Structure 1
Amino acid sequence: MPNVTAELWVPVEADLAFAVSQTTGEVRLRWDPFIRSQHLVDAVQPGKGVRTVTRARVGPRMVSEYVSYRPPTSVGMTMVDGPWFFERFGGGWRFTPEERSGVAGTRAVWKYTYAVRPAWLRPVAEPFGQWLLGREIRSRIAAFARACGDNTVLAAVAPPAA
């Protein structure tokens, strides 16, 4: 199955980077360029087995399910219902503590895996998917990196002061 990957380093610890990646509501809409709307289904917080409904800014809607949820290191999702042109779609985000030039931070690696339908369209659609999804994931992870430096986003995910 084809896949696209993007990675970068952010100067925040892994638990904070993970928390930013899992924001919802107005906080998520503040930074995520892909999402027009998103909500959890019958849940108040993400977790393994929880479903989300996401509508992309360009229109398509997808219902996905968390197949793994391991704060602060990784999250994985798979499409349950989505656009007709995806036979399968999944995403995984990993967060690894990594120091650079004496600064504590996190290496974030995001990956999408997909299959296009109908099968006869794959020779044309999959290269287009590589380009489009590659552009989208790079834009999205860059926005995530900016969010890791956005005081409004960070305040929304910071643990309450003791």
Structure 2
Amino acid sequence: MPQVEARVRVAVDPATAFAVSQTTGPTRLRWDPFIRRQHFLDGATTAGRGVRTFTRSRHGLSMISRYGSYAPPAPGRDTGNVGMTMERGPWFFETFGGGWRFVPDGEGGTVATWKYTFSCRPAWARPVLERLGSWLLGRDIRRRIAGFANGCSDPEVLAAARSGSG
């Protein structure tokens, strides 16, 4: 199964980096170049394990995904992670999952690693689709993590993330 990954060091602690990654609404749109629209489903108002989301990308494609893991940094645990899997999405994805990990860098900052794992359909076209998908998703994840790094230095994004309002 193909994977694409991007990593960046940001000058904020893991809890703040995690909070930035989970911002929503206008705050999220301020830093995330991939998302055009996103909201929680089933009456949820905050992210968490089992929560479903609807996302429309800048490409116009939509996906419903579910948080499989949601572990923000906490006292005694200085790393954080989030994992999501696609429940419904573009026809060409047979499976799709995303994972984000936030680890202290030892200097007061964070190393953020984002990874996508996917498979494509139909099976007869999989070799070509997955090569193309690796290239496209690799480009998108690099743009996205660069936007995340910008968000981690944007005073408005940081204020919203730290207050829990974004």
Matches of 2:3 and 2:128, distance apart in 1: 15
Among candidates 142, 145, 160, match of residue 146 of structure 2: 142
Tell me, yes or no, if structure 1 residue 64 matches structure 2 residue 65.
Answer: yes
Matches of 1:89 and 1:123, distance apart in 2: 16
Which residue does 1:74 correspond to in 2?
81
After TM superposition, the structure 1 = structure 2 runs for residues 19-98 of structure 1, keeping only pairs within 5 Å, are 19-41=19-41, 42-72=43-73, 73-98=80-105
Tell me, yes or no, if structure 1 residue 126 matches structure 2 residue 133.
Answer: no
User: Match of 1:53, SS?
Assistant: strand
CA deviations over 1:89-139 (Å, ceiling 9, x no partner): 00000000112xxx4100000000000000111111111111100000000
Which residue does 2:16 correspond to in 1?
16
Which residue does 1:114 correspond to in 2?
118
When normalised by structure 1's length, the TM-score is 0.95
Q: Quick one: which amino acid aligns to residue 22 of structure 2?
A: Q
CA deviations over 1:19-55 (Å, ceiling 9, x no partner): 0000000100111000000001121100000000000
Matches of 1:124 and 1:98, distance apart in 2: 37
Deviation at 1:157, TM superposition (A): 1.4
Matches of 1:136 and 1:122, distance apart in 2: 20
Structure 2, unaligned stretches of length 5 or more?
74-79
Structure 1, unaligned stretches of length 5 or more?
none
User: Match of 2:23, SS?
Assistant: coil
Matches of 1:144 and 1:14, distance apart in 2: 13
Paired residue total = 157
